[in-house]
Amino acid sequence: MTQIHDLSATRMAAAVRTREVSPVELADHYLTRIERLNEQVGAYVTVTGELAREQAREAEKAVLDAADPADLPPLHGVPVPIKDLNMVNGVRMTFGSAVYSELTGFADDNVVTALRAAGSLLLGKTTTPEFGLPCYTEGGVAPPARTPWDPSRSAGGSSGGAGAAVASGLAPVAQGSDGGGSIRIPSSVCGLFGIKPTRGRVSQGPVVPDLFGLSTNGPIARTVRDAALLLDVMAGHMPGDLYAAPPVEGTFASYAERPPGRLRIARSMESAVPGAEVHPDCVAAYDEASELLRELGHEVVELPQVLGPELVPHFLMLWGVMATVTPVADESEHLLQPLTRWLRERGEATTAPQLFQAHAALQGALRAAFPVMDGFDAILHPTLAQPPAPVGYFHDQEPAENFDRQTKFTPFTAPYNISGQPAVSVPLHWTSDAVAGGPGGSSPQNETPGLPIGIMLAGRLGGEGTLISLSAQLEEARPWIGRKPEIWTA
């Protein structure tokens, strides 16, 4: 029997406009599931039930009053949660930190304004790690975000709550953000499709600065079409933004409906992170994706290494400085997580000349890399070097070991934050055999079959449309929508 949460967001929006389903029904359905199931997966840190129902009643009235419901906004009545790094006026805002556990949002981020204008309903704020710094969602102010495919394992980060919500049927789609892989990581470990857009495609303002250009907002969804629709809604340049993406022809949703043509695709399993080893399951996903691309008629060739290990310290320096951007009063320092304190100490010890030198080194490397990368329509990598990690695998370590494990877990994602290129994680592969313990070696009690393993495709600057067309082709060839974790039918 089909349940409301079985509907895609695109189908849901159409059903609202044709009055097959009401916004009030949607809000009630998801809020009921959240109340029953959120504790199992740690998707939401704040649930805005009263607000969601109020918005749903207003949306339902607009449908009934509309002369032509087809003219309603594209996400009218569709629930879309917001990551707790993004501010919503009048709603609790924690940044994933005990330091800000009592903060109430005093403005809407531009992406929130865009989603509100598109008619979406706010179910709540999804969990995130402190200041969005780690690749896992643990500690701070909420229980860990867990992948519903195996709740002993992390949902990734920093958009871990968003990934857990969509994969568990606690939201049809979700807004996330990505500064070093934070949309693609949860998408991979939760069996979802996620898009990190081109730098400047989605406004970071008005509160969050975009000084380094590493981070961007983007969609997490179950289908390529849903993600493309959500990106259309999010996209937009606002006064004061430091970056602007190249214009796109038509809508992103239209690219999901058109074939990509024959593409020249490079592939690489080489990473810039010393000591990062790719797990056999991730190798299998990568090889299977390569073969599928060839079967679909694309040319697949090897990518020369364009960004080397000498750039890793420069990126890590930027990450430490980014950890200092969120202000913390001296008397609240003790509330910070150990990793956050460690990163902030590194950032505060960085001098201005060192920071400029790091930026210059990264820019110089990119100037040499772009002529090579632009010779391809897309570039294929594993999304992650390892299967979903057990909860605590990173968080329970000393900060230096924690951070080292994170860099080896995510060696392929951050280069595209440095370059600003768009990148997607596509859920093409699930393990068929038990994965023993994930990163760090075997552990029989953690053996779980059927874990999702994503593959990553990166594109040229402004090339989200090509990635969407290609991903839709892959989705049609190897549909994943029928794969659902046990919690889905709970």
- Span 389-408, pLDDT tens digits: 999 999 999 999 999 999 99
Task: Specify the pLDDT at position 439.
Answer: 53
How many helices (H) and strands (E) the chain has is answered by 15, 11
Three-class DSSP category at 311: helix
The mean of the pLDDT values for the chain is 95
Overall average pLDDT of the 90-117 stretch: 97
Q: Which residue has the higher pLDDT, 293 or 308?
A: 293
Distances (CA, A) of 68 to 5, 61, 72, 159: 26, 13, 8, 37
* Domain parsing of the chain, residue ranges: 13-489
Query: Which residues sit opposite 425 in a β-bridge?
Result: 194, 456
- Span 153-198, pLDDT tens digits: 999 999 999 999 999 999 999 999 999 999 999 999 999 999 999 9
In terms of Cα–Cα distance, which of 30, 194, 33 is closest to 123? 30
pLDDT of 333 over the 80 cut? yes
Strands (E), 72-121: 82-83
Overall average pLDDT of the 348-359 stretch: 96
pTM of the model: 0.96
CA atoms within 13 A on the CB side of 469: 19
pLDDT of 441 over the 70 cut? no
Task: Specify the pLDDT at position 467.
Answer: 99
Look up 154 and say whether it is catalytic: no
Kindly give, in sequence order, each residue whose CB lies less than 8 Å from that of residue 32, ignoring residues fewer than 6 positions away: none
In terms of Cα–Cα distance, which of 482, 455, 461 is closest to 293? 455
User: Which entry of 97, 120, 154, 158 is annotated as an active-site residue?
Assistant: 158
Look up 182 and say whether it is catalytic: yes
Look up 159 and say whether it is catalytic: no
User: Which entry of 83, 125, 196, 484 is annotated as an active-site residue?
Assistant: 83
Q: What is 13-489's CATH number?
A: 3.90.1300.10
Task: Specify the pLDDT at position 437.
Answer: 45
- Phi and psi at residue 435, in whole multiples of 5°? -100, 120
- Phi and psi at residue 109, in whole multiples of 5°? -60, 155
pLDDT of 440 over the 90 cut? no
List, as own/partner pairs, every contact residues 294-298 make where C-beta atoms lie below 8 angstroms and the sequence separation is at least 24, other chains included.
295/477, 296/473, 296/474, 296/477, 297/262, 298/262, 298/263, 298/264, 298/265
- Span 460-476, pLDDT tens digits: 999 999 999 999 999 99
Overall average pLDDT of the 404-415 stretch: 98
Q: Is the dihedral of CA 375, 378, 380, 383 positive or negative?
A: positive
User: Which entry of 182, 187, 203, 419 is annotated as an active-site residue?
Assistant: 182
